[in-house]
Structure 1
Amino acid sequence: MALVEVKDVWVKYRGARDYSLKGVTLSISEGVVAVIGPTNAGKTTLCKTIAGIIPNVGAYDDFRGEVLVDGVSTKGRKVGEISRKCAMVFQDYESQLFRTTVELEVAFGPENLMLPLEDIRERVRDAIKAVGLENLEKRYSFALSGGQKQRLAIASLLSLQPSLLILDEATSDLDPVGKRAIYEVAKNLMEQKVIKSLVLVDHHLEKVAAFADRVIVMKDGNVIMDGPASHVLSEVEMLIQLGLHPPDTAAIYSRIQPNSKPYPMSLEDALRKMPKVSKARPPPAPKYNEDEPAVEVEDLWFGYQKGEWVIKGVNLVVRKGELLGLIGQNGSGKTTLAQLVAGILKPIRGKIVVFGRDMTSYGVMIRGRDIGYIFQNPDYQIFSNTVREEIAYGLRARGLPEPEVEARVMEVSNMIGVSNILDEDPFFLTKADRQRVAVASILALNPRIIILDEPTTGLSPGETTALMDTVLKLNLQGTTIITITHDMWVVAKYCNRVVLMTDGKIVADGPTRNIFSEIDFLAKYDIEPPTVVSLSKKLLNQTYLTVDEFLDLVSFNNETG
């Protein structure tokens, strides 16, 4: 018997213009099932329906059909009761955290199952270890990094040991190694029969290829494709049309051997099947920026608690016009360093110079004239009643004339793609739209330096590309950009310089191509460059940063198309 059966389900949210699910029928048995598709395809709605949140919690104009979990209808049942069989980690994971410390959060579920104390302790210990939060049991939840909070949300449901675990973009804030670790934990629990099935929503299709047995593709509330992972992910043209980022190996083979479906999904398989190279031109040499400094950081030290240093003697020069990628594992100090530069935090010792002026003693109100900061969580900086008011707020605070404010709002909203939602309440938008609103509110101020802290979290690859294309356009116009991201393909495609942090220190700094060519060095710090980089290094001992660059510069004997 299938663990989950979805039978002709239709869902329409209250006040919505259209249905979010349109007659969806599917079943889920044991194994790993990935649900992919563009934003607003219905992925989260499907997950909430399976978890029994829909129709039991929230307001809906219409719900039709039936969902069975372990043979029992979800309709009319308490979500807490359903969660013993089927539990869901939300994309907005912070909304699930409410206990004061890590271990109390993880213990909440088992406590409500009224398990014996020793069983609760064992589940808490195992779940915390599984997600890599050992030694943080007593840490306050609010003091965790974004990635650590995401791990905590996952641990809080692992401790329930449900038959079906749903991860709705629930690893989006994790570095690639952390994402892989969570999926491996889930698969191990499946092998141990602790859980039977994993449903994951993830835009990172290379991770989907590595872990999923089956892939369901959604668009406009419909399932448009459903099949084995290697077959679905070989439909490169369809994936690109949906605004998704196909696995690098599939994208390459779709051009050099288009009739060889299913395409290789792993680096090893791609190298084994690769046709003979007939010609390979070297990639362009890195360019070094020698402009005057925009930001100078000298011997910077900072800690949130006495005796626990988070930033340890950092020295960094960011030059005018650079597009710098700040990378590193969760908890490496990236966000803390960025907030010190922006004036959100003040260093315990050290010096920060912005455009030649010592700004160490000045806070965000003064530095904000030159530096715009976009938070990892857009809800930290959104507070107005409408999108229009949100974008206009900073402009009005600076005393600009109203016609100029309105003109700037329209210019930025068109640039970011939010002009159609200017009169909407931002708190009712999707996370992707809230992210865009946060970006627009900073861009409207036209700062000389923009810091983006995980700006692509929760965005589809298509939306990420649109956002970063805008960022690149601003950079080419002279704006200095610092972006923190775990998406190495974004760094490879857009950043001309990379700074790698670990344990509060900078351990590598240089042109992107130079840094990414050191694959073994990066592996020591759990950084995985794009697959095309690893493939080109192993195949040709060259560093091609993107699939397009690889295909432009490398020719094969039997290449077609």
Structure 2
Amino acid sequence: MTENSIEITNLTFTYERGPLALQEISLEVKKGEIVGVLGANGSGKTTLCFHLNGIIPTVYAGTEKGSITMCGLDPWDTPIIELSQKASMVLQDPETQFTTTDVRSELYFGPANLGVEREEIIRRSQWAAGVCGISGLEERKPQELSGGQKQRVALAAGLTMLPEVLILDEPTSQLDPVGTTEVFDVVHELANSKDMTIMITSHKTDEVARLASKVLVLNEGKMIAYGTPREVFSQAELLNDVGVNPPAAASLAVALAKKIPGFEARYQKAGGIPLTVQECYDLLKELLDEGFLKVDWHEPDKLLKTESTPVLELENVTFTYPARIPVTALRDVSLTISKGEFVAIIGQNGSGKTTLVKHFLGLLEATEGSVMVDGEDVRELTIGSIAKSVSLILQNPDYQLFSISVQKELEFGLRNLGLPEDEIAQRVDAALAEVGLEEVREIFPFRLSFGDRRKVAAAAGIAMDPEVLILDEPTTAQDYVGRHVLCQIASRMRDQGKTIIMISHDMDLVAQYADRLIVMVDGQIIADGPKRNVFDMQEELERAFLKPPQITKLSQLLRDYGIKENLVTVEELQNCFKPGGGR
């Protein structure tokens, strides 16, 4: 009989002076299983994780009913030093768990506190750095790293503990697509080779579907679904209702089942709803070959024409960070972005994306080359004057929040513009309504969740009504609904003639909203063009550690059947199929 690493029975938890966070949760997790925990922000995912390693009740107090056992221990009755020898947790925001001044010390810190021998600490740290892709960064300070690199360091630090249970709270939210796949592959290998039990919260359902043993879905603290990935992701309508986006392959199958009689019966007969690109392609190929389906090609919508007026220009820009170990982050970059464009800048963690956009606001000064905003050299402009027309929403909102309430945070920039009080009030109300934070306007921002702090920072930028809006990783800490809310706001601004720049690793989001893609590698631009063209540049994407969205990969595989160009959404591909009249 397989041993259970985690047993939870009728767990209900209410935070002290706070809301009911979990209600009647019951589940068992066997040793060596990988459980993916899904749900919208505020559904209880992190609260559940906090129960497993003693953060609740050691850090966050509250009232608990029911029982929970982790590796035979009751987290409520076991000292955290003892729990830490069994369970290791990697938090969503990596900066909240860094304790030392360089990456190597960060990796040593955990096992050293457990009394692990020096040679074993070094061995574990070298192994963890290798599997997490941070070899060569050991001498760097954590604060000098990109967001994705910080997340890799936090994960590596957790792995050096070699726990029986590894708890990962959104461990890939800031990673590039290939980096995300690598982390999930490491997780899978740990479960198989070391019999490690892993609980991972994530919004990346395609990776969860590929590797998880079980999937748990939470909504408002309640357990909505629990089962194998195929069992859970076949409930597409239920998942959409609670803010969970199924893998694109599964969403396409459900869409086609509604459109084509008998399609659901065919995929059920073939083993259940397809979860991966390959499974979906194999199903579609079989049905096309036998005539059950036919391709009815529909041209995707063409790009909107934009003005050719340049608003942002870089010419031969090189930038080197003057750190203890100097890092050249941009190398001879030249770029022009015109009024009304929606541009996505994509690339591996540390490729120079954020460094590039900071030059547009004068936050960094080029080591070589020139930067122009609306035809003026940024070296001749003040940061304050640039901020009137260019807004940057940073990846980590905590770097730009400082007021005593959400409302005052939004008012600050508007008052610096010298606007009358009635217009300030109107803009604040409108921006808070856009991001759904009207009810927290009097709350101190740092009492909000990380995801809601992202929305506060976004609202502050939107309220400024800039001519150029720059979103740095808008999906970080956002659930499926939240990330689309921010991008839909940006899309509406583009329709009003504004220029939008989005830095993102979410290829589905990029494909849906952006028109032009700029691909960066090692501080250089290696590809630049319309999104459908760039997604065909396989060599450049591989160099940048990027992968096209699932739907785009499917459309590429189906070229021989009449899919003539890259498609980027489920709706686009669904519209290209019709019943074939075959058996």
User: With structure 2 as the length reference, what TM-score do the two structures score?
Assistant: 0.93
1:258 and 2:264 correspond? yes
2:574 to 534, 551, 554: 551
2:423 to 399, 404, 407: 404
Distance 2:332 2:129 in 1: 31
Aligned pair in 2 of structure 1 residues 263, 312: CA closer, same or farther (>3 Å)? same
Cα pair 2:527 2:540 within 8 Å, conserved: no
Aligned pair in 2 of structure 1 residues 160, 559: CA closer, same or farther (>3 Å)? farther
1:453 to 466, 472, 478: 472
Aligned pair in 2 of structure 1 residues 141, 363: CA closer, same or farther (>3 Å)? farther
Q: In the alignment, which residue of structure 2 is the partner of 1:465? A: 484
Aligned counterparts, 1:109-508, within 5 A: 109-193=110-194, 195-256=195-256, 257-259=263-265, 260-261=267-268, 262-274=272-284, 275-276=287-288, 277-286=294-303, 289-305=306-322, 308-508=327-527
% of aligned pairs identical? 35
Distance 1:93 1:28 in 2: 26
Q: CA deviation at 1:137?
A: 0.8
Query: Residues 56-103 of structure 1: CA distance to partner in whole angstroms, max 9, x if unpaired?
Result: 22232x122221111121113232321211111111221001200001
Cα pair 1:344 1:363 within 8 Å, conserved: no
Aligned pair in 2 of structure 1 residues 473, 558: CA closer, same or farther (>3 Å)? farther
- Structure 1 stretch displaced more, 50-59 or 387-396: 50-59
Q: CA deviation at 1:383?
A: 0.9
Distance 1:78 1:448 in 2: 54
Q: CA deviation at 1:361?
A: 4.4
Distance 1:239 1:280 in 2: 30
Q: For residue 59 of structure 1, what is the amino acid of its counterpart?
A: A
Distance 1:120 1:559 in 2: 63
Distance 1:105 1:443 in 2: 37
Query: Residues 441-499 of structure 1: CA distance to partner in whole angstroms, max 9, x if unpaired?
Result: 11111111111100111111111111111110111111101000000111110001110
Q: CA deviation at 1:535?
A: 0.5
Secondary structure at the aligned position of 2:296 is classed as: strand
Q: In the alignment, which residue of structure 2 is the partner of 1:55? A: 57
Distance 1:2 1:318 in 2: 56
Distance 1:26 1:311 in 2: 49
Aligned pair in 2 of structure 1 residues 520, 504: CA closer, same or farther (>3 Å)? closer
Secondary structure at the aligned position of 1:451 is classed as: strand
Q: CA deviation at 1:304?
A: 0.6
Instruction: Flag as ranges the 4+ runs of structure 1 deviating above 6 A.
Output: none
Secondary structure at the aligned position of 2:180 is classed as: helix
Cα pair 1:283 1:553 within 8 Å, conserved: no
Distance 2:445 2:524 in 1: 37
Q: For residue 237 of structure 1, what is the amino acid of its counterpart?
A: E
Q: CA deviation at 1:198?
A: 1.1
Distance 1:397 1:308 in 2: 34
Q: For residue 536 of structure 1, what is the amino acid of its counterpart?
A: S
Q: For residue 415 of structure 1, what is the amino acid of its counterpart?
A: E
Unaligned runs of 5+ in 1: none
Q: In the alignment, which residue of structure 1 is the partner of 2:260? A: none
Cα pair 2:38 2:215 within 8 Å, conserved: yes
Distance 2:528 2:157 in 1: 37
Q: For residue 52 of structure 1, what is the amino acid of its counterpart?
A: G
Secondary structure at the aligned position of 1:255 is classed as: helix
Q: For residue 12 of structure 2, what is the amino acid of its counterpart?
A: W
User: With structure 1 as the length reference, what TM-score do the two structures score?
Assistant: 0.96
Q: CA deviation at 1:288?
A: 5.6
Q: CA deviation at 1:163?
A: 0.6
Give the alignment's Cα RMSD to 1 decimal.
1.7
Distance 1:122 1:178 in 2: 23
Query: Residues 272-298 of structure 1: CA distance to partner in whole angstroms, max 9, x if unpaired?
Result: 111222422233444564521010110
Query: Residues 75-132 of structure 1: CA distance to partner in whole angstroms, max 9, x if unpaired?
Result: 1323232121111111122100120000100100111111221111111111111111
Cα pair 2:390 2:470 within 8 Å, conserved: yes
- Structure 1 stretch displaced more, 480-489 or 81-90: 81-90
Q: CA deviation at 1:532?
A: 0.6
Query: Residues 209-243 of structure 1: CA distance to partner in whole angstroms, max 9, x if unpaired?
Result: 11111101111111111100112112111122222
- Structure 1 stretch displaced more, 6-15 or 334-343: 6-15
Cα pair 2:53 2:89 within 8 Å, conserved: yes
Distance 1:82 1:365 in 2: 50
Secondary structure at the aligned position of 2:337 is classed as: strand
Secondary structure at the aligned position of 1:500 is classed as: strand
Query: Residues 503-522 of structure 1: CA distance to partner in whole angstroms, max 9, x if unpaired?
Result: 10000001111111334542
Distance 1:401 1:558 in 2: 66
Query: Residues 126-165 of structure 1: CA distance to partner in whole angstroms, max 9, x if unpaired?
Result: 1111111101111111111100100111111100000111
Q: For residue 46 of structure 2, what is the amino acid of its counterpart?
A: T
Aligned residues: 557
Q: CA deviation at 1:398?
A: 2.5
Secondary structure at the aligned position of 2:357 is classed as: helix
Distance 1:124 1:521 in 2: 32
Q: CA deviation at 1:553?
A: 3.3
Distance 1:491 1:374 in 2: 17
Q: In the alignment, which residue of structure 2 is the partner of 1:43? A: 45
Cα pair 2:173 2:475 within 8 Å, conserved: no
Cα pair 2:54 2:80 within 8 Å, conserved: yes
Q: For residue 239 of structure 1, what is the amino acid of its counterpart?
A: L
Q: For residue 555 of structure 1, what is the amino acid of its counterpart?
A: K
Distance 2:582 2:542 in 1: 32
Distance 1:156 1:125 in 2: 11
Q: CA deviation at 1:26?
A: 1.1
- Structure 1 stretch displaced more, 415-424 or 160-169: 415-424
Q: CA deviation at 1:363?
A: 4.6
Secondary structure at the aligned position of 2:321 is classed as: coil
Aligned pair in 2 of structure 1 residues 37, 404: CA closer, same or farther (>3 Å)? same
Distance 2:424 2:314 in 1: 34
Cα pair 1:286 1:514 within 8 Å, conserved: no
Q: For residue 416 of structure 2, what is the amino acid of its counterpart?
A: A
Q: For residue 431 of structure 2, what is the amino acid of its counterpart?
A: V
Unaligned runs of 5+ in 2: 257-262, 289-293
Secondary structure at the aligned position of 1:258 is classed as: helix
Aligned pair in 2 of structure 1 residues 400, 131: CA closer, same or farther (>3 Å)? same
Q: In the alignment, which residue of structure 2 is the partner of 1:88? A: 89
